[in-house]
Amino acid sequence: MITLNLIGIGTGNPDHLTFAAVKAMNAADLILLPRKGEEKSDLIDLRRGICAQLLTEPVKVVEYDMPRRAERQDYIGAVVDWHDAIAALWMEQIVRYLPDGGTLALLVWGDPSLYDSSLRIAGRLPGVTVRVIPGITSVQALTAAHAICLNDLAEPVLITTGRRLREEGWPEGADSVVVMLDGDCAFQTVPAEGVDIWWGAYLAMPQEAIMRGPLAVVGGDIVRRRAALREEHGWIMDIYLLRRRRG
C-alpha cells in the first residue's frame, strides 16, 4: 500500500511547519522535491533547506525535473495535460523507489487546499491513500506581515486569481478581494478610486517585501517594485488584498 502525505510548508520558512508536518516528514520513506529550472533554483533550495534542518530520520530524498505547462489559449486543457504529466512522473518514482509500498511525502507551498493542484494530481494515482497535513497559507502570511484582519467586521472575503480579476473585473458583491497567482499586476485593471491595497512578496522569507496604501497612490510603485524584485531574484511569489473603503 502507498500512502501519500501532502505536507503544507507555508511560504518556505521552516518556522512555518507545524509539529505534525515535521513528524510526517520524518515518518516518510521517500520525499520528492521538484526542480523547476535554473531560474527558480531558490525554490528547490528552500525545500532542500527544510529537509536538511528538520529531518532527523534517514528518509530518502529524491529530486525530479518538473514538466512545464504548455502556453496555449486552451488554458484549462493545458493545465489538465500538465497535471497528467506530473502524475505520471510521481507514479514513476513510486514504482522505482517504493515497489513494495510505503509512505511518500511531498512538500507543498502554503496549504494543499488553496490554489494548489497537488490534491487533484494525487487523485490520478491509482491505489494511493492521500493524507493532508495543513500549512500556513500566503493569505495568512500577508495579513500577519501587515498586522491586519483579513475581513471587515462581519463581512465576507473573496479569494480569486489575477487572471479572473483581469478578465472579469471586480467580483460582484465583494468589498474585500484577495488575489493570488497574479503575474501581471491585475490590480491595474480595476478602478482605483476608494480602494486600498496590501501587497506582499516572498512573505516570511529573508527577502520579504511589503507595501500598502491607496491603490491610486501606491499601485504604480508596487508594479515597479515587483519588476525589480523579479529581475533581482529571477522569480517572485506575491499576493495582495484589495478592499473598498466604506462611505
What is the tens place of the pLDDT at every residue in 35-55?
887 766 778 888 999 999 999
CB-based contact 219:210 (threshold 8 Å): no
pLDDT higher than 70, residue 228? yes
Which of 108, 97, 89 is closest to 6 using CA atoms? Answer: 108
Mean pLDDT of 144-154: 95
User: DSSP letter at 10?
Assistant: B
Q: How far apart are CA 204 and CA 141, in angstroms?
A: 7
Show the domain range for 24. 2-136
Is residue 247 very low, low, confident or very high in pLDDT (cuts 50, 70, 90)? Answer: low
128 shares its domain with 143: no
> Which pLDDT score, from 0 to 100, does residue 39 have?
65
Q: Point out the domain boundary residue: 71, 102, 136.
A: 136
Q: How far apart are CA 10 and CA 29, in angstroms?
A: 22
26 shares its domain with 124: yes
12 shares its domain with 97: yes
Q: How far apart are CA 191 and CA 20, in angstroms?
A: 43
The residue among 138 and 75 whose pLDDT is bigger is 138
Helix (H) or strand (E) holding 78: helix 75-97
What residue type is assigned to position 77 of the chain? G
